[in-house]
Structure 1
Amino acid sequence: MTMREQFSEYYSPSDEEYLEYLSNGVVSLDTNVLLSPYRMDSQARGQLFSILEFLAEQIWIPHQAAWEFFNNRPNVLAGEDKVYQKLEAPLIAAKKSLEDHIKTLQGHSIVTTEKQQKITRGLDDLIEEVKSLSNQRDSKLEEALRIDPVLNRWEYLLSGRIGERPDATRHAELNALAEERIKSGLPPGGKDADKGVNANGDAILWLQLIEHAQEAQRPVLLVTDDIKEDWYRRQSGQTIGPRTELVREMRSTAEVAYYQQPLSGFLRRAGKALSKPVSEETIKQTKHHSARAATMHYESIVVSEILSLHEQGLAPMVQRLDTDNGIDLIVTADSTTFAIVIKYQSHVASAATVMRTINSLPPNLHALPIVISNVPLTAQAAAIITEWRGHRRQKPQWIHWDPATMPSSEFHLSFLASLQEARESRLNNKWT
């Protein structure tokens, strides 16, 4: 037996093997991929459906993925809310700043009262337009749910290609199996154990996929942008392939080959294999949405770990922020306030990243800023942090924590050390 045969779970498929997935295999799509067209422009959406429609005979969707699609679809369609909020907030801030400046120009011979009113009236009109768009959200959402061209395309493509709804008995069995897997630490699903709602979803989807593979007896390619560590192997923030446990389980249980890819990787490689190339702009869009999901997931893990310090006798209060000042969380523990910046990156944190992060902090911040990142600092970046903390009133600290490779205890120790330093700094009146 060759090395490749013995350790096949560590290898990406060759071009011939990959084409076998597309020609004779099962191509399955996760919930996040089903929702992705709503976040694409028309050109990218067209390229995605062009490839999927070409592969229609190979496509099969677990019932769990389709059910989650319909549950999450209204939230995705309503996602424009935050876009309007992010448009309105800077406009209001700009108007306030402009009015304050205009007060200093009273009586100026060039900037007349009439011109001042014309300038501010222009900003008022923009703010009202954004508010109007936001106020129309409910009617737009109702219309989008009723008249949905994306859903129409999925209905056409997936007709007869979705797993059957499990009856009550089978649903209970799947939940029991999923809970048993999660307790045993078997991927996928362990990273969602504390999610509450649909905590068994990933495990159930996987069990349904294995069940279909046993029946179909064809190699399985899963396209998923769920980049959590219980789906993918990751190194320094980079996705390097599916969890080896998943490949081995599919092979031992269903006796078929298994591979999985994020949507961007699938579009690039499948497009090339099928001579239906996808534009770099489309790849860029899909990568952006995948990275955003990864950031949100990392933030939720950090919040969960900070809150879990209750078990160590610390009672932190965590406030999530939705602002553009670079701060993600405000944490108060033992009368000490921290401004938390969370940076999820695919490469080491460079000097440029450190400087951008530090310079984005509000100048009047009355808290100890802590940056938590899944990747380590370069030597030059670490030197900048050391120098900054030695001479500036604002003393940011940078905690490197990768949940995939480091136990929670290491993060807890780093965070508690930062808390202790904050107490000492406060006692020495170095900051308020």
Structure 2
Amino acid sequence: MKHTFNEFYTDYINLKKIDEDTVIVFDANTLLHIYRYSTITVNTLLKAMEMVKKNIWLPYQAALEFNRNRQTTKLSMKINKEAIEKKSEDKIKDVTNELKELIGTLDVRSKDSLDTKNEIEKNVEVLLNKFYKDSLKKEIDKLLNIINTEADSLDKIVNLFNGKIGKPFSKEILEDICKEGKARYDLKIPPGYMDAKKNTYTFHGKDYQLENKYGDLVFWKEIINYAKETKKKNVVIVSDDGKEDWIYETKGRKIGTRVELKKELLSETGANLLIINTNTFISSILDDTKDLIIENVLNSHLLQEYKNQINIDKIKEEVKNEARILFERFEEIKINFLGMGIMVPRQIKHLEEKFLNIISTLRSSDDFLEILDLKKQLDELNIELTNQIKEINLFLG
């Protein structure tokens, strides 16, 4: 039975004693954890990666996403820390005001009671501020300083994957993958269909703009291609992406790798597939490292509240202002061309379409990291527009 339904069975892979038949693949999000974890956990993760460096490999798509999102992730963690500091100060003020209001509700109509109430209100403010500065703030700072937003382990990541990064697919292959992706997503064939609503683009290689919704599928196709070329017997993917198009879930519990993915890799390459999270990767290689990582720490209720109340509205308004300026620039450029009796060049129309796609995503997005990424795309588009105008002006003489 196992021979016939091999994809339903997972053989144990000892990561401490792996041979050259096994490759360990990382996704971009796992590498971006170097900006989300404490210094101790980052060093532990890098140590585990160093232990198996002969077996690690990074698809081009993962390397691209890591480099594109590195600064955004680092910045978001820094902003989150600043937001928590501000929010904690505001909470102390709120508690102070609430206690004052509560004391004020005591309706004793005599001069001495009024004096006593005023004295209590004064002491409440002094005591709470003292408690915050002398005790609570120090504890909060201790927590926030666990993550060093100024540190950067980029050089260590670069050295680990030196010569171990895949090459970008050709434009023709990417076009075929996107066509296949549309059919797969309609049928909910993993991976990637959970990203089907993404409508932004990224340059993949030198000459192709990839729809970001197909990023996971390109990542997957690279793994299949690599396993086939190198004749690997085992592929281990380290990823904390617990979405249903990678991990099978039933009754609220994550069971394991999607059978469809295991079957596809097995039929295409003959290799077995195992997907593990960062915690499992570390603990499978190093001793005494249980539960170093709390899954989905960035999605905790408290941190999400800070993002929503302090960061998103402000950042989104800044991005909207940049978009308005860029919109006015497009309008001015089109008017200038029409004033010269020239049709608006195809390159400019293409950039305007990209701009409209970004605006469409911005209007509906409340995701902090996505908004920061859209800001980056607008900045890149502005530079690209400037370069195109220069080239057109040179051509027109």
TM-score range with shorter-chain normalisation? Answer: 0.5 to 0.7
1:253 to 236, 246, 268: 268
Give CA-to-partner distance per residue, 1:345-390, whole Å, 9 cap, x none. xxxxxxxxxxxxxxxxxxxxxxxxxxxxxxxxxxxxxxxxxxxxxx
1:212: which partner in 2?
Answer: 226
Give CA-to-partner distance per residue, 1:142-201, whole Å, 9 cap, x none. xx5xxx531111011011111113344443333333333323432101111112231111
Partner Cα distance (1:14, 1:112) in 2: 66
Change (3 A) 1:54 1:33: same
2:184: which partner in 1?
Answer: 181
2:155: which partner in 1?
Answer: 152
Report deviation, 1:54: 1.3
Partner Cα distance (1:109, 1:97) in 2: 17
- Work out whether 1:107 is the aligned partner of 2:105: no
Say if 1:217 and 1:254, in contact at 8 Å, map to a contact too: yes
**1:308-319 residue pairs with structure 2 within 5 A?**
none
1:288: which partner in 2?
Answer: 295
Tell which deviates more after alignment, 236-245 or 224-233. 236-245
Change (3 A) 1:321 1:48: closer
Report deviation, 1:91: 3.0
Say if 1:220 and 1:256, in contact at 8 Å, map to a contact too: yes
2:89: which partner in 1?
Answer: 91
Greater CA radius of gyration, 1 or 2?
A: 2
Say if 1:191 and 1:228, in contact at 8 Å, map to a contact too: yes
Partner Cα distance (2:34, 2:125) in 1: 43
Partner Cα distance (1:63, 1:294) in 2: 31
1:240: which partner in 2?
Answer: 255
Report deviation, 1:94: 2.7
2:50 to 16, 38, 53: 53
Report deviation, 1:229: 0.9
Say if 1:181 and 1:203, in contact at 8 Å, map to a contact too: no
Percent identity of paired positions between Structure 1 and Structure 2: 22
- Work out whether 1:277 is the aligned partner of 2:292: no
User: Structure 2: which amino acid aligns with 1:163?
Assistant: G
Say if 2:92 and 2:132, in contact at 8 Å, map to a contact too: no
Change (3 A) 1:294 1:323: closer
Partner Cα distance (1:124, 1:251) in 2: 59
User: Structure 2: which amino acid aligns with 1:52?
Assistant: M
Report deviation, 1:120: 6.3
Change (3 A) 1:67 1:98: same
User: Structure 2: which amino acid aligns with 1:96?
Assistant: D
Question: What secondary structure, in the 3-state scheme, does the structure 2 residue paired with 1:279 have?
Answer: coil
Determine which structure has the larger helix proportion and give its number. Answer: 2
**1:12-411 residue pairs with structure 2 within 5 A?**
12-15=10-13, 23-80=20-77, 81-102=79-100, 104=103, 107-108=115-116, 111=119, 115=123, 118-119=126-127, 122=130, 144=150, 149-197=152-200, 198-218=212-232, 219-268=234-283, 270-271=284-285, 276-282=286-292, 285=293, 287-289=294-296, 322=308
Question: What secondary structure, in the 3-state scheme, does the structure 1 residue paired with 2:275 have?
Answer: strand
Give CA-to-partner distance per residue, 1:372-410, whole Å, 9 cap, x none. xxxxxxxxxxxxxxxxxxxxxxxxxxxxxxxxxxxxxxx
Change (3 A) 1:185 1:15: closer
Partner Cα distance (1:97, 1:20) in 2: 56
Report deviation, 1:236: 2.5
Say if 2:21 and 2:231, in contact at 8 Å, map to a contact too: no
Question: What secondary structure, in the 3-state scheme, does the structure 1 residue paired with 2:24 have?
Answer: strand
Report deviation, 1:265: 1.9
Q: What is the number of equivalent residue pairs in this alignment? A: 274
Partner Cα distance (1:92, 1:169) in 2: 55
- Scaled by the length of structure 2, what TM-score is found? 0.60
Partner Cα distance (1:15, 1:65) in 2: 23
Change (3 A) 1:20 1:214: farther
Partner Cα distance (2:153, 2:59) in 1: 19
Change (3 A) 1:27 1:293: farther
User: Structure 1: which amino acid aligns with 2:237?
Assistant: L
Partner Cα distance (2:23, 2:300) in 1: 26
Q: How large is the RMSD of aligned CA atoms in angstroms?
A: 3.6
User: Structure 1: which amino acid aligns with 2:115?
Assistant: G
Question: What secondary structure, in the 3-state scheme, does the structure 1 residue paired with 2:3 have?
Answer: helix
Change (3 A) 1:113 1:187: closer
2:356: which partner in 1?
Answer: none
Report deviation, 1:203: 0.7
2:3: which partner in 1?
Answer: 5
Structure possessing the higher relative contact order (Cα contacts under 8 Å, 6 or more residues apart)? 2
Change (3 A) 1:112 1:260: closer
Partner Cα distance (1:172, 1:206) in 2: 15
Report deviation, 1:36: 1.5
- List alignment gaps of at least 5 residues for structure 2: 105-113, 142-147, 201-211, 311-397
Question: What secondary structure, in the 3-state scheme, does the structure 2 residue paired with 1:149 have?
Answer: coil
User: Structure 2: which amino acid aligns with 1:264?
Assistant: N
Partner Cα distance (1:157, 1:230) in 2: 29
- Scaled by the length of structure 1, what TM-score is found? 0.55
Question: What secondary structure, in the 3-state scheme, does the structure 1 residue paired with 2:249 have?
Answer: strand
Partner Cα distance (1:294, 1:248) in 2: 35
Give CA-to-partner distance per residue, 1:76-103, whole Å, 9 cap, x none. 2122323432443343233133135346
Partner Cα distance (2:99, 2:228) in 1: 71
